[in-house]
């Protein structure tokens, strides 16, 4: 059995601070708003909060462009508010994870400003600059957000590399002094009593620098940058050092945003791994091709989804520990992604909740997921705030897709779907803010979907999530639910996803009917006890079970 640790037993709640709760009526969520809602998070059953970035930033990419790692953006509050949040959460048994963004900084960071103005300064080597003789960019890599990955320094033949937006220059991890600066900053935060970090885009920090013209893989004449900067040989030296100098001495929880190939996985999440867990993208990004082009959506079946989930579970279980999630701030709403439009309702939403809560790994709930929030489509492309949405739209047009169609596909996948304000109640701005207008529109469905409404209703998505989290955090089933080995359970129905979790003397059988019709599965002997299900029906073991549409049911037995 796995070694027991606090972060394996945790339930995490992810907050997008700009959209969670506004406390001072400026239409933007803030730290005080989060402090005021700690009781809600505790009641939901989460004991860790991951906060998306709240540092100083020009907010070109929602705060993932940091201009000062040591201070809180005034829009979110003060440095003292952050300390207070850590303290108050701590008193309630909740640990805080911050986002660690160290693949790049903002171009407004003072290091980069120095580097720009003075190519001879030591800061120039904190980034990746390259001068060319002919004035053309050093190569034709495409940044993840679209367009060239190199930006010219005005009036020169000097370029800098940016894997993401041009306002996010990449840091040069080869530089020892820079690495020391990063460790100092990470320890500064950890010493304040943080639980740890979610670590952004970390697989990109080692670059295989090659210059010239590469075979393009798109209509734009550019080539996917990931081929050269993802998981490159030598990255392990940087990650090892980072862990040794910061996380390990603090016994931190660290979740790396890292799609790691199987050969490397043990180094990442094994017993002595660089991180305590990783997010993989294998089922959250099932609708996107490997090159990340939202505008060429991949259609998928339930069988494929099952295969991806099972492969990921088996692979991670062999090597260490993982994080499981259906949503985050880079995704659209899971109910819109995985379910046909006409099938989005209480049963299918709760089935999805159960689907990820009973997997092996630490569950991450993204704000609003627990009330079944849905996508929101804005009127025109100009209304979107998310930089990736604009990049994808431009690429779609370049690929010859008509405007209307490009808009429709990109809007469905836009990250802004998950960045709309949290829907607390049926009042003004859904209880998110007293302001006249909020930074991002409130989804007009808030009268139908809100915390207040669901709190009153025993049979709500929210109350189902509360039960799931409760089961995971304590009581009879918590141990097998957390530490049980994952074992696929073969069924004949193509749209049923089922597995077992196996501990020394206990087992769970977890079944999901991922379709709008009935399905029948065999039930082995001994599974006489129902743990949870989204239909009220009574359960007896008769050797088989007839599932209702989108039913989920979890059964339990003890073994010798
Ligand atoms: C990660 C973040 C995403 C951000 C990108 C660049 O993927 O989750 O929101 O845009 O890194 O920092
Ligand atoms: Ca505010």
Determine the pLDDT at residue 1: 59
Mean pLDDT over 241-260 rounds to 96
Mean pLDDT over 44-50 rounds to 98
Protein residue closest via CA to atom 7 of ligand 1:
201
Residues with CB under 6 A from ligand 1: 61, 64, 101, 164, 200-201, 257, 329-330
Q: What is the 3-state secondary structure (H, E, C) of 68-121?
A: EEEEECCCCCCHHHHHHHHHHHHHCCCEEEEEECCCECCCCCHHHHHHHHCCCC
Q: Please tell me the number of the ligand nearest to residue 32's CA.
A: 2
Determine the pLDDT at residue 259: 87
Determine the pLDDT at residue 537: 85
Q: What is the pLDDT of residues 391-450, one digit of tens each?
A: 999 999 999 999 999 999 999 999 999 999 999 999 999 999 999 999 999 999 999 999
Q: Ligand 2 centre and the CA of 73: distance in Å?
A: 11
8 Å CB contact between 503 and 524: no
Mean pLDDT over 66-83 rounds to 98
Determine the pLDDT at residue 4: 83
DSSP classification of residue 190: H
8 Å CB contact between 22 and 435: yes
Q: Ligand 2 centre and the CA of 74: distance in Å?
A: 9
Write down the catalytic residue from 257, 285, 394, 506: 257
Round to whole Å and give the CA distance between 148 and 141: 6
* Ligand 1 nearest-atom number relative to CA 330: 9
Determine the pLDDT at residue 543: 97
220-247 exposure pattern, b = at least 16 Cβ within 10 A, e = fewer: bebbbbbebbbbbeebeebbebbbebbb
Query: Is 405 labeled as catalytic in the residue annotation?
Result: no
| Residue entry with tokens 């990442």 | 268
| Residue entry with tokens 């049911």 | 553
Query: Is 257 labeled as catalytic in the residue annotation?
Result: yes
Determine the pLDDT at residue 291: 81
Tell me the Ramachandran region of residue 148: left when phi exceeds 0, alpha when psi lies from -120 to 50, beta otherwise: beta
Name the helix (H) or strand (E) containing 351: helix 346-357
Confidence of residue 103 (pLDDT cuts 50, 70, 90): very high
Q: Ligand 2 centre and the CA of 3: distance in Å?
A: 42
Determine the pLDDT at residue 428: 98
Of 275, 279, 278, 295, which is closest to residue 287 (Cα–Cα)? 295
Mean pLDDT over 280-295 rounds to 91
Q: What percent of the chain has pLDDT over 70?
A: 100
Q: Ligand 2 centre and the CA of 438: distance in Å?
A: 10
Determine the pLDDT at residue 473: 97
| Residue entry with tokens 């991951």 | 50
Residue 2 reports pLDDT greater than 80: no
Mean pLDDT over 97-102 rounds to 98
Determine the pLDDT at residue 3: 82
Determine the pLDDT at residue 290: 84
Round to whole Å and give the CA distance between 321 and 2: 9
Residue 266 reports pLDDT greater than 80: yes
Of 74, 80, 67, 72, which is closest to residue 51 (Cα–Cα)? 72
Return contacts of 189-194, CB within 8 angstroms, 24+ apart: 189/98, 190/246, 190/247, 190/250, 190/252, 191/250, 192/83, 192/86, 193/86, 193/87, 193/90, 194/86, 194/95, 194/96, 194/97, 194/98, 194/252
Round to whole Å and give the CA distance between 53 and 200: 10
User: Token digits for 185?
Assistant: 């900053």
Residue 153 reports pLDDT greater than 80: yes
Is the pTM higher than 0.85? The answer reads yes
DSSP classification of residue 246: I
Residue 145 reports pLDDT greater than 70: yes
* Average pLDDT taken over every residue of the chain: 97
> How far is Cα of residue 55 from the mean position of the Cα atoms in its chain?
18
Q: What is the pLDDT of residues 117-142, one digit of tens each?
A: 999 999 999 999 999 999 999 999 99
Residues with C-beta atoms within 5 A of ion ligand 2: 22, 24, 26, 28, 30
Q: What three-state secondary structure class fits 359? A: coil
Of 30, 27, 23, which is closest to residue 438 (Cα–Cα)? 27
């Amino acid at each position: 059995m796995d070694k027991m640790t606090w972060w394996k037993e945790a339930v995490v709640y992810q907050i997008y601070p700009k959209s969670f709760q506004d406390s001072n009526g400026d239409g933007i969520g803030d730290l005080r708003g989060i402090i005021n809602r700690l009781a809600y998070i505790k009641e939901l059953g989460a004991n860790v909060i991951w906060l998306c970035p709240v540092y100083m930033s020009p907010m070109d990419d929602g705060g993932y462009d940091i201009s000062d790692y040591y201070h809180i953006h005034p829009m979110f509050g003060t440095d003292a508010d952050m300390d207070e949040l850590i303290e108050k959460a701590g008193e309630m048994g909740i640990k805080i994870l911050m986002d660690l963004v160290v693949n790049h900084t903002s171009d407004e960071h003072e290091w980069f400003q120095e580097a720009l103005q003075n190519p001879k300064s030591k800061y120039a080597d904190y980034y990746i600059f390259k001068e060319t003789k002919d004035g053309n960019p050093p190569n034709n890599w495409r940044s993840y957000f679209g367009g060239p990955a190199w930006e010219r320094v005005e009036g020169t033949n000097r370029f800098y590399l940016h894997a993401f937006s041009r306002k996010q220059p990449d840091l040069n991890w080869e530089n020892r002094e820079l690495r020391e600066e990063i460790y100092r900053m990470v320890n500064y935060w950890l010493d304040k009593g943080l639980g740890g970090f979610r670590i952004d885009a970390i697989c990109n920090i080692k670059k295989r620098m090659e210059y010239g013209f590469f075979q393009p893989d798109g209509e734009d004449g550019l080539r996917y940058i990931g081929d050269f900067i993802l998981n490159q040989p030598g990255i392990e030296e940087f990650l090892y050092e980072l862990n040794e100098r910061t996380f390990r001495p603090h016994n931190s929880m660290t979740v790396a945003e890292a799609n790691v190939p199987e050969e490397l996985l043990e180094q990442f999440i094994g017993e002595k791994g660089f991180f305590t867990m990783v997010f993989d993208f294998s089922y959250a990004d099932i609708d996107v091709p490997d090159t990340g082009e939202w505008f060429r959506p991949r259609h998928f079946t339930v069988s494929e989804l099952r295969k991806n989930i099972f492969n990921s579970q088996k692979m991670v279980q062999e090597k260490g520990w993982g994080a499981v999630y259906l949503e985050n701030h880079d995704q659209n709403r899971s109910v819109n992604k995985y379910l046909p439009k006409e099938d989005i309702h209480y049963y299918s939403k709760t089935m999805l909740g159960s689907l990820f809560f009973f997997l092996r790994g630490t569950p991450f709930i993204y704000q609003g997921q627990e009330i079944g929030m849905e996508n929101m489509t804005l009127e025109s492309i100009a209304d979107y705030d998310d930089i990736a949405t604009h990049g994808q739209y431009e690429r779609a047009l370049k690929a010859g897709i008509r405007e209307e169609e490009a808009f429709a596909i990109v809007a469905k996948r836009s990250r802004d779907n998950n960045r709309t304000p949290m829907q607390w109640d049926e009042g003004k701005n859904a209880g998110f803010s007293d302001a006249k207008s909020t930074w991002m529109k409130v989804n007009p469905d808030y009268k139908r979907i809100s915390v207040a409404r669901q709190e009153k209703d025993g049979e709500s998505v929210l109350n189902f999530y509360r039960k799931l989290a409760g089961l995971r955090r304590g009581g009879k089933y918590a141990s097998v639910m957390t530490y049980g080995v994952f074992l696929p359970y073969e069924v004949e129905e193509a749209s049923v996803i089922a597995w077992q979790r196996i501990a020394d003397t206990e087992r769970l059988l977890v079944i999901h009917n991922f379709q709008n019709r009935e399905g029948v599965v065999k039930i082995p002997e001994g599974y006489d006890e129902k743990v949870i299900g989204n239909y009220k029906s009574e359960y007896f073991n008769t050797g088989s079970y007839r599932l209702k549409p989108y039913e989920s049911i979890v059964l339990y037995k003890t073994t010798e």
